Amino acid sequence: MCICNRLDDLKNEINNSNVTVIAVTKTKPVEIIKNVYECKHKSFGENKAQELVAKYEQLKELDIEWHMIGHLQRNKVKYIAPFVSMIHSVDSLKLLKEINKQATKNNRVINCLLQFHIATEDSKFGLNIEECEELLNSDEFKTFSNIKICGVMGMATYTDNLDLVRNEFRTLKNYYDYLKENYFTESLEFKEISMGMTNDWEIALEEGATILRIGTLIFGKR
């Protein structure tokens, strides 16, 4: 089956136009991205800044929305700031400060998601709720005029234990609701919950995901 059929099947199964699918193209060549773009899909994600930049450079003429979904080092922000559409992996005030600085230099406002550590594995990045509130309450955060906080992101534990996965997604949804109510009541933009990948997207959707990040299911094994 061709990639576009797989993507269309997925969108049909989701059957909700308010849910965005990000096609995760890490390790895949730009030709494949072009193919998927030709099926009228415009949201793509990469987990490494270098690969994101390289692919952007080669596909500049296409109006692709590029999402940075992986851990981001501060010294790499300047390379993606000119074009990135959303950064899903904001996990510190320092990183957000650098994003704001580079966004300002580029005369842009960059959309950001706050990444939470919801998995039991300790290898995954992300804030806990206390750290997040500390960030949001800081005086410095209030001065950032070139970033827009659009919601939250998280990755569940890689496991067959679907109850655990569901609980982790539910935790992220609860964080979202809590932040919405306490910090973003006035914000129309704070509306995204980025969770769910190839192995767990159905559960993520049931638990309230608005953005799914899908690679393997569309493109096959890496």
Applying CB under 6 A, which residues contact ligand PLP?
24, 26, 47, 69-70, 155, 197-199, 213-217
For the bound state, the minimum distance from the C-beta of residue 103 to ligand PLP, rounded and expressed in Å, comes to 21
We find the least distance from the C-beta atom of residue 24 to ligand PLP, in angstroms, to be 4
Q: Report the residue number, 85 or 106, with the smaller CB distance to ligand PLP.
A: 85
Q: CA Rg, the chain, in Å?
A: 17
By beta-carbon proximity to ligand PLP, the closer residue of 23 and 99 is 23
Residue whose CB is less far from ligand PLP, 70 or 151: 70
- Give the nearer residue to ligand PLP in terms of CB position, either 144 or 152: 152
Instruction: Identify which of residues 91 and 144 has a Cβ nearer to ligand PLP in the complex.
Output: 91
CB of 198 to ligand PLP, least distance (A): 3
Q: Which of residues 144 and 192 has its CB atom nearest to ligand PLP in the complex? A: 192
The region that residue 126 occupies, defined by phi over 0 for left and psi between -120 and 50 for alpha, beta otherwise, is left
Helix (H), strand (E), coil (C) string for the chain: CCHHHHHHHHHHHHCCCCCEEEEECCCCCHHHHHHHHHCCCCEEEECCHHHHHHHHHHCCCCCCEEEECCCCCHHHHHHHCCCCCEEEEECCHHHHHHHHHHHHHCCCCEEEEEEECCCCCCCCCCECHHHHHHHHHCHHHHHCCCEEEEEEEECCCCCCCHHHHHHHHHHHHHHHHHHHHHCCCCCCCCCEEECCCCCCHHHHHHCCCCEEEECHHHHCCC
Cβ of residue 180: shortest distance to ligand PLP, in angstroms? 23
Work out how close the CB of 61 gets to ligand PLP at its nearest, in angstroms, rounded to a whole number: 26
Smallest separation (angstroms) from ligand PLP to the CB of 153: 8
